[in-house]
Amino acid sequence: MSANNIKIYDIFRKDLHLGDEKARELVSEMDEVYRKELIKDLATKTEVQALAKKLDQTDAKLDGFNIRLDGFHTRLDGFDARLDGFKDAINGFQVGFATFRAETAIQMKTDVEKFYSKMDRLGVLQYIAITGTILGALASLGVFKLLFK
């Protein structure tokens, strides 16, 4: 008898005042009912085999998924490599564009300076041309003859 059975036996003997044989019968009957209930919940050999077959099928499916997953990983690695190539190309474009922008800014500054320099010279030349034209017109009209007589 287990320790729990001894406790139940003592309760039957002392608290319920049953005889020794009757208390043993009750404890034995309770043990038998408990064992039957436990056995009812256990799986049969057929059920265990069916579960094993389902587990094997599930393992096969998982193996198939793992193979597909490996293929996806391979494709993902290819995409990563292509993405790295695109990143390198974009970085190269950014560097090239920054260089182009700097060179263009310098060239524009130089062109503007040249333009203003030519404008200044052109302004002086225009002033001389206008002044010469006015003096020529005055000379042809004879204004200088009148003034310097």
Residues 24-58 have pLDDT tens digits of 787 788 887 777 777 777 777 788 888 899 999 99
Burial code of 105-135, b = ≥16 C-beta within 10 A, e = fewer?
eeeeeeeeeeeeeeeeeeeeeeeeeeeeeee
Same domain (yes/no): 56, 117? yes
> What's the predicted TM-score (pTM) here?
0.36
Domain total in the chain: 2
User: Whole domain around residue 32: which residue ranges?
Assistant: 1-42
- Rounded to the nearest integer, the mean pLDDT of the chain is 80
Distance CA 42, CA 10 (A): 31
Same domain (yes/no): 106, 58? yes
Which pLDDT value is given to residue 149? 57
